[in-house]
Every structure is written in C-alpha cells, then in structure tokens.
Amino acid sequence: MENFRTIAKFLIFFFFIFSLSLSAVGNGGKEEKVEKQGPSIVERATGLTTPISPWNKIKSLINVALMNFRPPDSANDQASSSAGEAMKEAVSKSFQTSKTAAENIAKSAAEVTGETVHNTLEKLKRTVSSPGTESEPEL
C-alpha cells in the first residue's frame, strides 16, 4: 500500500513538471493570435479560474489529487449508517407491502376457486338428481 502511494505521488509530481514544461514552451515560439477562451472544465472544478502563480496552482491540484488518498471522515461514517438505517426501513416497508399484496392475491384466488367448486358441485347435484332427463347445456 505504501509502495502504491509512493508511485502515485511520483507520477503526480512527474505529470505536473511535464505540464509546466509544456506550458513554458507554449506554441513553439510561433506568434499566433489565439482567441480568448473561457476556463476549462478542470479549472472551473478546482477553482483555478483566477490568475495565480504556477506554484499555487500546483499546490491546489496536489491537494485535489490527494483527497482521494485521505481516509473518510467520521461524519461520512455517520451519514452512511443513517443511510443504512433508511435502506433497512425501505426494505422492510417493501417486504410488508409485498406480503400484503400476496395475501390479497391468495384471498382472491381462494374466492375464485371456492366459487368454481361450488358451481361444479351444484352442476353435479343437478346431474345426479335427475338421471332420466337430458343434461342441460353448459354455460
């Protein structure tokens, strides 16, 4: 882990030195008129839209890069535990809703089955009670 951090710091340092050398060279000594463009996305995200010294730019970019290597704050742990509690509540509520829906479906199926059995029983009674008559047409 320590080796990874050392390599990452070295790569970040190398990247900044390389980018500074490219910005010092500029356009290769050619004088061209370039239209003024607004700040890039990276400059807006890091807050580097104002003219500051290159050293301050490097320090602020290193701070942004190292934010990924810092351990999470305890405030984030509390937020994640409250998020976990909210997730548990949502899951239990969803489970209760699903359970209620399944019970209602079972009741409806039982009612339909009960009606079908009752109709079949009535039809069977009519057929058995009058064996000499013709059978009634089905519905």
How does pLDDT run across 62-76, given as a tens digit for each residue? 887 777 777 666 555
Same domain? 49 vs 115: no
Same domain? 10 vs 64: yes
Residue 35 belongs to a domain: no
The total number of structural domains that make up the chain: 2
Provide the domain limits for residue 116: 92-128
Residue 34 belongs to a domain: no
Same domain? 2 vs 67: yes
Report whether 46 contacts 60 (CB < 8 A).
Answer: yes
Token couple for 108: 């409806």
For residue 120, pLDDT over 80 is answered with yes
Indicate the Cα dihedral angle 53, 45, 15, 59, nearest 10°.
40
Task: Identify the weakest region by mean pLDDT among 48-52, 91-95, 114-118, 119-123.
Answer: 48-52
Enter the pTM of the model. Answer: 0.33
For residue 85, pLDDT over 70 is answered with yes
Residue 113 belongs to a domain: yes
* pLDDT for res 67: 75
Residue 115 belongs to a domain: yes
Residue 64 belongs to a domain: yes
Report whether 60 contacts 18 (CB < 8 A).
Answer: no
Residue 139 belongs to a domain: no
Q: CB-based contacts of 65: which residues, under 8 Å, 6+ apart?
A: 12
Which of 70, 67, 66, 54 minimizes the C-alpha distance to 16? 54
Report whether 64 contacts 79 (CB < 8 A).
Answer: no
